[in-house]
Amino acid sequence: MSRRLLLAGGGHSHIEVLRRWALAPEPGIELVLLSPDRHAAYSGMLPGHIAGHYSHTDCHIDLDALCDAAGATRIATTVAGLDPLARRVIAGDGSTQDYDWLAINVGSTPATAGIAGSDRHGIAVKPVARFLAHWEELRAAALSAPRALELVVVGNGAAGVEVVLAMQRRIAGEGGRAHFTLVGDSPELLPAHPAAVRRRFAQKLKDRGIRLRMGLPVIRASAGLLKFADDSSLTFDEVLWITGAGAPAWPRTSGLECDERGFIRIDATLRSLSHPEVFASGDVAGMVDAPRPKSGVYAVRQGPPLHDNLRCALRGEPLREYRPQRRALALISSSDGSAVASYGPLSWQGEWVWRWKERIDRGFMARYRGNSDKN
Ligand SMILES: Cc1cc2nc3c(=O)[nH]c(=O)nc-3n(C[C@H](O)[C@H](O)[C@H](O)COP(=O)(O)OP(=O)(O)OC[C@H]3O[C@@H](n4cnc5c(N)ncnc54)[C@H](O)[C@@H]3O)c2cc1C
């Protein structure tokens, strides 16, 4: 009888599992992907897509094509819960899916739990498909609005900075009318990056007319109004949530061991600390021995060891330990034909950095289109 390996979520690690599975399928294993969307977004190219530099196809991976190649089935649903004792996933539509082995790579969503009303007002950058549909409406509204729209991006990390620059470039380039404000709760932009990177982006935002409002957390969102911790406020026509990563609630409520923020605790083999038949990777997981920031780089790098360890687990062989790299290179685009590279205390800027980023990103996508090296 065949055994069932469920992949929950078409994240950056699971696309690599599928790609490698296609090269050598495992006999006697039914491989199933649970993903509500046919297309998985590659977030490294998302700001470029918002800016109009990349098409939707350029920055999305066709999960059905990957599943076809791997002999896997995609079931179009979300994971809403888990019964780990019964080895059963509860899907968003109430149906259930049994598994022998489960791997979870569902990413994160912006952490806005502490902001009252954020679930009813504004739009979060993830899920990406919903965000992009909303972005199209926003662009159209900026073109036809009788006055400039007030657009607020909450989140002063790299993603928030890239997205606000991309939106400004696109709307201004199309003749739309909008004012932008970037809001962050730390005193400085890009707190995880060196001072030179922060200075460069502060200047770019200023040059592009994007206002900054730093140093105070937003505590409440209501129709057209953000309230800050000091009781000051900011009006908006639309607010976009691009705050740091937050975990889905269901891993914790299902009984998987999670850290204090709700991310699944995994060991060096990428296996759940509490449930050895469950693996997790990417943003939704936290490696207890080697904690790292939530970043696509780590989700991508976990793909090959996750694939190898799933095979080992299925074959009853010992798992191998994986040690993530200590730090990741961030290539942050400014949607003006240039980008900034940030690596530990070092940074570089220029058109060549953008070309470098573009080469890396397009190379990454080519791996999942079957038109590049097979290894
Ligand atoms: C605008 C932006 C730009 C970024 N740029 C970079 C960058 O340049 N470099 C970098 O390293 N990081 C970047 N990041 C961070 C990066 O997006 C994440 O760290 C990365 O996507 C995490 O990968 P993942 O595989 O864990 O999850 P994801 O890439 O988010 O994939 C998870 C998948 O699971 C699906 N899913 C979600 N919930 C469920 C569910 N309940 N059931 C089934 N499926 C589900 C999602 O739809 C998605 O397809 C950026 C983030 C943003 C928002």
* Domain membership of residue 183 as a residue range: 110-244+329-375
pLDDT tens figures, 186-210: 999 999 999 999 999 999 999 999 9
CB 225 within 8 A of CB 234: yes
Shared domain for 222 and 359, answered yes or no, is yes
- Measured from the CB, is residue 303 less than 6 Å from ligand 1? no
Does residue 132 surpass a pLDDT of 50? yes
Residue 371 CB coordination number (10 Å): 8
160 plus 240 within the same structural domain: yes
Tokens matching residue 250: 């269901």
For residues 87 and 172, membership in a common domain is answered with no
Mean pLDDT, all residues of the chain: 95
Report strand pairing: 79-83 vs 88-91: antiparallel
Task: Provide, rounded to the nearest whole percent, the portion of the chain with pLDDT above 90.
Answer: 94
Q: What's 173's domain CATH number?
A: 3.50.50.60
Tens digit of pLDDT for each residue in 57-114? 999 999 999 999 999 999 999 999 999 999 999 999 899 999 999 999 999 999 988 8
Instruction: For the chain, state the CA radius of gyration.
Output: 21
Q: Does 349 lie in the same domain as 203? A: yes
> Cα(365) to centroid of ligand 1, in Å?
15
In angstroms, what is the span from residue 11 Cα to ligand 1's centroid?
6
Domain boundary among 292, 311, 327: 327
Amino acid at 99: Y
Same domain, 132 and 219: yes
Q: Are residues 145 and 193 in the same domain?
A: yes
**Which residue's CA is minimally distant from atom 29 of ligand 1?**
11
The answer on 375 and 231 residing in a single domain is yes
Looking at the fold, whether 357 and 236 belong to one and the same domain comes out as yes
Residue 129 burial by Cβ neighbours in a 10 Å radius (0-12, 13-18, 19+):
middle
* 129 & 160 share domain: yes
Alpha carbon distance 329, 108 (integer Å): 20
What is the count of structural domains for the chain? Answer: 2
Residues 267 and 321 in one domain: yes
Pocket test of ligand 1: the residue of 6, 43, 130 to mutate, having most ligand atoms within 8 Å of its CB, is 43
**Ligand 1 pocket, 12 CB below 6 A?**
yes
Q: Which residues contact 326 (CB under 8 A, 6 or more apart)?
A: none
Same domain, 229 and 366: yes
Q: Rounded to whole angstroms, how far apart are CA atoms 22 and 16? A: 10
Which of 112, 295, 307 to mutate to test ligand 1, by most ligand atoms within 8 A of the CB atom?
295
Query: Distance (Å, rounded) from C-alpha 58 to C-alpha 16?
Result: 18
299 and 348, same domain (yes or no): no
175 CA distance to ligand 1 middle (Å): 31
